[in-house]
A and B are shown apart, each in its own frame.
Chain A
């Protein structure tokens, strides 16, 4: 890496972060499970079959935002990451880093919100850890969660499974979480009714997998948005992915805020959305299953996986209503830090 220090852009979910992970973390850890590059690692546990495991840390500011709080985010984020492997999510751990002086009432509210989200997802929080640091050494409250679940026999979901002819679906409107958090930021406050979409999607994934048993992969498009998720799929599978701009669900108020701020809604973070790639013949069934599942009522088919033209690198492109195309690239550096 050309950088000598960590920059905020290294946490953006885009190209800078990818490079940090590739060149610093994978370089040192590099286990086969990690190198698969999925949101959850899947490994054998002798005697019990395969388990999926994932962890996530949450530093969002402010900790309370329209439609959610850091606690709901901490449970949903990890539940969703584990669920993308096709696992039945069972148990969570939670670690708290608290800053001296943080109001206990706020902490209670956050923890109750975690309990509610865990109940909704049908998972149990079974262990935890608490650390307190001096005032100024952290910003209020940071939460780190890990989750495990068992992967049913025969399920092998991976971003590397996409094949030409497959169909891309998304479970609902894009950009809600990122814009909801931004709307509260100091210096950026703008009036909006947009709510964060933070939600556990393990039931939605289960429904989609029942309807589309040959589903290739699922991923929640968090930091870096749809653009990062689809580019990760395209890279891992060595394919092109084409999406139809007019088919991608985006709320008008999110689109308006993005135009004002100069953001692409396809690069804005989500915390309660799922991208799925399924074989064409199972796409309609998957769509109906998603629409019938909690948080899936705005699900849509948005694009398709294509064969790579000879000599071209894996990429994602957007087709506009008038037949023009453009590349949909990963976010480069920082868009807005600490949104999750």
Chain B
């Protein structure tokens, strides 16, 4: 979009990362390198999924290069049972549910938080867990439950929020946590005999926290390359070129194409916050099933802030939506538009599966930007 000078300039100038000439050069180089080869790359961050759609990259990639979307949207990988539990808690008299906007319309087994809100339950959208904390402070008569999802990037802020609540002794605040870790999901996909991935576009935001070390196993155990990158057109194209070259040359490595955002060591302070509040447990992922040491649970010390322990609710029996192939989409087994429900029974307006509802979901991205 053309720039019109305003009273306040944008804080950071990203124009070099959107330079059309540079982007065209990279596209030409990728096309030249790929030639007639067949290469499958997977991006494992929902923001990358949206960027790839928004920048229209699929329309300019060589025919043999497939960009598959992985389990990078925290809303999409949340298990039905976790959604159903949030809904059950929302139905308790005196409870206010606070959560991120994308969680509202995700269908659980028989309802959604949006439907509960329309039916009169108190469900509110917040942009930060601290907003939920503020509601608890302002409305001491209500039990405020923050429904928390997110990967390594989001979790430290959620941990800090819980510590803040603990410091203030807020008795009417708790969290229902379905936070997850990225590397175990990558392992599950690299290990999946039905998915053929040749390289990973690794998440930029998550890596600001984790650094590069947690991805080493991709090279050491699976011989697969990975490139951490940012979200601008040139970032993404540069990472694709790096991956294509490593794949063709047979020199897999984990490379950092996002040095302006990511240190090799990540952010130890943020990791320490997460470590202080959460312990690693097995977790159920939509599509990937139960993965060892892939979820986070509030430590015993802070158990009183764990909504799952605070509210003893009956969670309805889990029903998976019939015909929905979100699981296969999340594993990169199929492209979203090959699911039989895509665009017919399942649309952004009436989503059947979570990949269609979340703004970072791969089905929503395909539907929104289809070319």
Task: Report the interface size class on chain A.
Answer: 35 or more
Find the A residue at minimum CB distance from B124.
Answer: A187
- Which chain B residues lie closer than 8 Å to A194 at the CB level? 6
A249:B55 contact, CB within 8 angstroms: no
Among A93-101, A109-117, A325-333, the stretch that binds chain B is A325-333
A327:B8 contact, CB within 8 angstroms: no
Q: Which of A15, A250, A325 contacts B56 (CB 8 A)?
A: A325
Find the B residue at minimum CB distance from A246.
Answer: B2
Whether A165 is near chain B, meaning CB under 8 Å from some CB there, is no
A192:B8 contact, CB within 8 angstroms: yes
- Which chain A residues lie closer than 8 Å to B304 at the CB level? none
B20:A321 contact, CB within 8 angstroms: yes
What secondary structure prevails in chain B residues at the interface with A?
Answer: loop
B2:A253 contact, CB within 8 angstroms: no
Q: Which of A1-42 contact B (CB under 8 A)?
A: 2, 5-7, 15-16, 19
Whether B145 is near chain A, meaning CB under 8 Å from some CB there, is no
A248:B1 contact, CB within 8 angstroms: yes
Whether A214 is near chain B, meaning CB under 8 Å from some CB there, is no
The CA of A7 and the CA of B117, in the complex, are separated in Å by: 9
Q: Which of A223-275 contact B (CB under 8 A)?
A: 245-256, 262, 264-265
- Shortest distance between the CB of B331 and any CB in chain A (Å): 25
Q: Given known contacts A247-B2, A249-B1, A262-B359, is B60 in contact with A323 (CB within 8 Å)?
A: yes
B55:A193 contact, CB within 8 angstroms: no
- Which chain A residues lie closer than 8 Å to B118 at the CB level? 5-7
Find the B residue at minimum CB distance from A191.
Answer: B8
**Per-position binary interface string of chain A over residues 85-122, scored 1 when its CB falls under 8 Å from any chain B CB and 0 otherwise:** 00000000000000000000000000000000000000
Q: Which of B8, B349, B367 contacts A193 (CB 8 A)?
A: B8
Q: Which of B1-42 contact A (CB under 8 A)?
A: 1-11, 18, 20, 23-24, 27
Whether B59 is near chain A, meaning CB under 8 Å from some CB there, is yes
Whether B334 is near chain A, meaning CB under 8 Å from some CB there, is no
Q: Which of B6, B233, B347, B367 contacts A253 (CB 8 A)?
A: B6
A249:B4 contact, CB within 8 angstroms: yes
- Which chain A residues lie closer than 8 Å to B70 at the CB level? none
- Which chain A residues lie closer than 8 Å to B309 at the CB level? none
- Which chain B residues lie closer than 8 Å to A255 at the CB level? 1, 10
B9:A252 contact, CB within 8 angstroms: yes
A253:B57 contact, CB within 8 angstroms: no
Whether A173 is near chain B, meaning CB under 8 Å from some CB there, is yes
A321:B4 contact, CB within 8 angstroms: no
- Which chain A residues lie closer than 8 Å to B303 at the CB level? none
Residue from A251, A255, A332 having most chain B Cβ neighbours under 10 A: A332
- Shortest distance between the CB of A332 and any CB in chain B (Å): 4
The CA of A320 and the CA of B128, in the complex, are separated in Å by: 33
Find the A residue at minimum CB distance from B20.
Answer: A321
The CA of A234 and the CA of B145, in the complex, are separated in Å by: 44
Whether A298 is near chain B, meaning CB under 8 Å from some CB there, is yes
Whether B350 is near chain A, meaning CB under 8 Å from some CB there, is yes
- Shortest distance between the CB of B316 and any CB in chain A (Å): 19
- Which chain A residues lie closer than 8 Å to B134 at the CB level? 187
B349:A326 contact, CB within 8 angstroms: no
**Per-position binary interface string of chain A over residues 298-328, scored 1 when its CB falls under 8 Å from any chain B CB and 0 otherwise:** 1010000000000000000110111111110
Q: Which of A193, A247, A325, A333 contacts B348 (CB 8 A)?
A: A333
Find the A residue at minimum CB distance from B231.
Answer: A259
Whether A188 is near chain B, meaning CB under 8 Å from some CB there, is yes
The CA of A318 and the CA of B20, in the complex, are separated in Å by: 15
A188:B127 contact, CB within 8 angstroms: yes
- Shortest distance between the CB of B181 and any CB in chain A (Å): 23
- Shortest distance between the CB of A72 and any CB in chain B (Å): 20
Q: Which of B5, B10, B55, B347 contacts A324 (CB 8 A)?
A: B55
The CA of A159 and the CA of B233, in the complex, are separated in Å by: 34
**Per-position binary interface string of chain B over residues 83-127, scored 1 when its CB falls under 8 Å from any chain A CB and 0 otherwise:** 000000000000000000000010000000010001100000011
22 A-B interface contacts by CB (under 8 A):
A5-B118, A6-B118, A7-B118, A173-B4, A245-B1, A246-B2, A249-B4, A250-B2, A250-B3, A250-B4, A252-B9, A253-B6, A320-B55, A320-B56, A320-B233, A322-B23, A324-B59, A325-B59, A325-B371, A326-B53, A326-B54, A327-B371
Q: Which residues of B pack against A, CB within 8 Å? A: 1-11, 18, 20, 23-24, 27, 53-57, 59-60, 105, 114, 118-119, 126-127, 131, 134, 233, 347-350, 359, 367-371
A-B complex: 4 closest residue pairs judged by Cβ atoms: A321-B20, A324-B56, A322-B23, A326-B56
